[in-house]
Amino acid sequence: MVDLKALTDSVGELDEERVLNVLEDFVASSPSEEEAQKVVAACQSGMAIVGDLYEKGEYFVGDLIFAGELLTNAINTLKPVLGSSSSQKAGKIIIGTVAGDLHDIGKNIFKSMSEAAGFEVIDLGIDQPASAFVEKVKQVKPDIVGMSGVLTLALEAMKETVDALKEAGLRDSIKVIIGGNPVTKEACEQIGADAFTTNAAEGVKIIQGWVK
Amino acid sequence: MSDAKALQQERTEIFQDVYDNKIPKRVPINIAMGLEPTAQFGGIDMTSAQWKPSMVAEAADKLCQTVFSDVCVFSGSLRLPSFYQSVDSQSFVMGSNGFIQHPEVIGMDPEDYDYLIEKPYDCLLERVIPRQYKALDINDPIRMAINLTKSFTAYNNDMMELGMIRNKLVEKYGYYPGGPITAGGFTEAAFDFLADQLRSFRGVSMDVRRMRDKVKAACEALYPIVFKKGLPSSVSNYTHVFFPLHMPTFMREKDFAELWWPTFKRHLEEYASLGVHSRIFCEDNWDRYVDYLYELPTDTYLYFEYGTPKLIKEKLGKKFILSGFYPVGLLKTGTKQQVIDKAKEIIDIMAPGGKYIFTWDKNPLTINDINIDNLVALTDFVRDYAVYQNPGQKAGMEFNTEDYKIAPSKKLESKYFTTWDQFKSSHPEVSDLGEPKLQGLEERVFQFLMYLLL
C-alpha cells in the first residue's frame, strides 16, 4: 500500500513526477477499490495543502493551475482501479463565466479546487446569459451558484444574473459567490451575492463553510 | 491665443514637467475611454460603432464636453472586428455583448519549442499565426494572401479613422497632444509574449515546471522580436513604449526572477541606452516585486492597478513616474463623496514631490461599468485639488542615457524579413530612393503581423 502521508506531501509540493510514479506503481499492484479511494483522498488532501500555501503567498495562480492539472492526471491514472461507485459529494455547485466575458482561467482553477474538495461541479462555460444560470439551477437544484468574470463589464452581468434568479424565485434556495479580478465588497453588495473572492482557495473555504 | 490653444499649452507644460523631473503646476489627469463606452455614452450600438468608427465622432465630442481630463477623453480602440474577423481570429473574439476580448488560446504546442528557439520569427509566421487566425491557412496560399491584405488594409483604414476623430478633438478642446496608447511603441515582455498567444496562461504555467530550460531559451529567442516590435521610430523624452505586464504576479518569485525578469530588464535597459522611455502597466498587485521594479531605468513610467500606494511612493517615487491605483469600480458603487474622498486619499500619498500622473486602476470597458456623474465629480475634484505650491522645482532623479551601457541585441533574422542590403543584392538596379519606401513597408508588415500576436 502507498505511504498516504508521503503522497499527500508530494501533491502539496507539486512534485508531478513522484506523484505519478507512486500512482502507477499502486495501480500495477491491483489494489482494492477501497484502497484506491484512500489514495484519491490523499491526493485531495495534497490539494488542500496547495490551497493553504497559496493563501500564505508561497504559491501563486500558475501553481494552482499546475496543481489542477496534476490532480486530473492523478485521477486519470487511478481510473482503472477506481470502479464505478461514486463517493459522497460535499455539495453541488453550478459555475460559469457571466454574459459578455470570455475568460475562464480563474473559473477553471476554482473548479478543479472545488472538485478536489469533494464538490460536484457543473460548469456552464464562458459568456453565459442569466437565463442559462436560471435554467440550470431549476434543473439540477444546486446548493451554490458561482459566477466568474475578469472584465469590469462582468459586474453588470453578475447583477443581471442574480436579479434573474430572484425573479425566477430561486435566489432564496441557493448561496451565490462571485469571483474574478474586478469583484469587490462594494460590488458584491450591489450585485446581491452572498460572498466574493479574488482567491480561488479562499472561495473553496467559503463554499465549504456553506455546506457544513 | 484661443482658449483651446492656451489650455493645450498649459496641459503640455504639466505633462512635460513631469517627464522632465520638474514639479508641475498641478497633477496631470490622464483619463480616457475607449470606443465601446463612448459609443454607449452616445446611445450607439457598440457592434455597429466597431465596424464604422466614424459613427462615434459626435458622442466622443460630447464625452469631451462632459468629462474633464488633460488628455483626449476619447482614446479610440486597439481591437476592431474588421481586422480580426476578416482573418477569423481565435485570439481576439467578440463576446455576446459585442466587446472584443482575448480568451485563453494555444498557438504553439510544447513540440514547437525547438523550432521557436531556432527560428523564432519563422515559427510565429508558419505555425502560430495560422493557428490563431484560421483564415491565414498556409495550405490555402492564395486565399491567405487575400485575407491578410484585407485585414492589413482594414487595420490601417480603421486606425486612421479613429486617429482623425481623436486629433480633431485634441485641437478643439486643447488636450495634451501626447500620443494615444501606442504612439511611442507597443510591445510585451518576452515571457508574456510567449504566454499570451503562444503557450497560453495555462500552458506556460505547465512549461515552467516541465520544461523550464526551453521556456528560458524561448524568451531569449523572442527577445529580438519583442524588442523590434516596440522600438519607436524617433526618440523623445515625451513618448513611451507601452508594455502591459501580464504574468509576474501569478508566478512564484523564483520563477519570475529566473524566467520572466532577465529579458524584460534587458529590454528596458536597451531602450534606455537609446534614450527610449517605457511605460509599464503593472497589472494586478506588484507590492512583492517592488525591489525588482527599482532596478528599472530612471523615469520609467509605472502604472499600477492594485497594491499599496504608500509603499510604492516611498520606494519608487523619486526614481519613476507613477500613476494608477484609483479604483474604477468605486465610480459605479460609491457616492460622490466616497469617490472624492478616495481621490484625496490617493493624491495625498502620490502627489507630493511630483513625478505623478492621475489615472484610474484600469479603463472601464463599457459605460455601465461607471457612473458618469461620479466620473465628472472625480476629475473636477482632481483638477482643483491636486495643485502644487512649488511648480518648477526639481522633482526627483534625472535620467541619463549614458547610465545604460548595453550591447545591442541580435537583429531579427528570418527569410520572412528582407533587409535593404538583401533586397539590393537581388535587385542591383534599384535606386537608393527605394530604401525608405520598401523598408518602411517591410517594417509595417512586421509591425502588423506581430500586432496580431499582442
Can you give the pLDDT at residue B161?
95
Task: Say yes or no for a CB contact (<8 Å) between A152 and B328.
Answer: yes
Q: In this complex, do B95 and A190 lie within 8 Å of one another by their Cβ atoms?
A: no
Q: What is the pLDDT of residue B366?
A: 87
* Nearest C-alpha in B relative to A198: B284
Condensed to tens digits (0 to 9), the pLDDT of residues B128-159 reads 999 999 999 999 999 999 999 999 999 999 99
CA distance A151 to chain B (A): 7
Task: For chain B, give the percent of residues with pLDDT over 70.
Answer: 99
pLDDT of residue B441: 95
Q: pLDDT averaged over chain A? A: 92
Q: What gap in Å lies between CA B198 and CA B79, rounded to an integer?
A: 19
Q: How many CA atoms lie within 13 A of B316 on its CB side?
A: 29
Is pLDDT at B181 greater than 70 in this prediction?
no
* Residue B98 scores a pLDDT above 90: no
pLDDT for B14 equals 97
Instruction: State the Cα angle at A94 between A93 and A95, rounded to 5°.
Output: 115
CB pairs A-B closer than 8 Å? 98
In the predicted model, is pLDDT for residue B443 greater than 80?
Answer: yes
Determine the pLDDT at residue A37.
87
Distance, in Å, from the CA atom of A108 to the CA atom of B205, rounded to the nearest integer, reads 14
Of the ranges A21-35, B101-115, B396-410, the best mean pLDDT one: B101-115
Residue A33 has pLDDT above 90, yes or no: no
pLDDT of residue B133: 98
Closest CA to A118 of A146, A89, A141: A89
* DSSP assignments along chain A, one per residue: ---HHHHHHHHHTT-HHHHHHHHHHHHHT---HHHHHHHHHHHHHHHHHHHHHHHTTSS-HHHHHHHHHHHHHHHHHHHHHH-SPPPPPSEEEEEEEBTT----HHHHHHHHHHHHTTEEEEE--SSB-HHHHHHHHHHH--SEEEEE-SSTHHHHHHHHHHHHHHHTT-GGGSEEEEESTT--HHHHHHHT-SEEES-HHHHHHHHHHHH-
For residue B434, give the C-alpha cell.
Answer: 527605394
A92 touches chain B (CB under 8 A): no
Mean pLDDT of B166-170: 96
Nearest CA in chain B to A182: B329
Mean pLDDT rounded to a whole number for chain B: 95
CA–CA gap between residue B351 and residue B23 (Å, rounded): 10
- Mean pLDDT calculated for residue range B384-402: 96
Q: Determine the pLDDT at residue A153.
A: 85
Q: Tell if the CB–CB gap between B329 and A153 is shorter than 8 Å.
A: no
What pLDDT does B408 receive?
A: 84
Nearest CB among A14, A57, A102 relative to B95 is that of A102
Percentage of the residues of chain B whose pLDDT score is greater than 90: 94
Q: Which of A76-90, B281-295, B427-441 has the highest mean pLDDT?
A: B281-295
Least reliable range by pLDDT among B17-21, B26-30, B176-180, B328-332:
B176-180
Kindly identify which residue of chain B lies nearest to residue A155, measuring between CA atoms.
B369
What's the whole-number mean pLDDT along residues B213-221? 98
| CA B451 to each of CA B9, B93, B238, B346: distance values in angstroms, whole numbers, following the listed order | 33, 15, 23, 34
Judge residue B21's burial from the number of C-beta atoms within 10 Å of its C-beta, 0-12 exposed, 13-18 middle, 19 or more buried: buried
Q: Flag whether pLDDT at A201 surpasses 80.
A: yes
Considering only CB atoms, A62 lies closest to which of B208, B210, B362, namely B208
Mean pLDDT of B286-295: 98
pLDDT above 80 for A87: no
- Provide the percentage of residues in chain A whose pLDDT is more than 70: 98
CA distance B228 to B248: 22
**Which residues does A34 contact at the CB level (< 8 Å), separation at least 6?**
none
Out of B251, B284, B368, closest to residue A153 by CB? B368
Tell me what pLDDT residue A210 has.
96
Interface contact flag, A105 B201, Cβ < 8 Å: yes
**pLDDT (average), residues B61-74:** 97
Domains and CATH numbers, chain A: 4-86 (1.10.1240.10), 89-211 (3.40.50.280)
Q: How buried is residue B449: exposed, middle or buried, by Cβ count under 10 Å (0-12/13-18/19+)?
A: buried
Give the mean model confidence (pLDDT) for residues A143-152.
Answer: 94
Q: Which residues of B touch A102 (CB under 8 A)?
A: 93, 95, 101-103
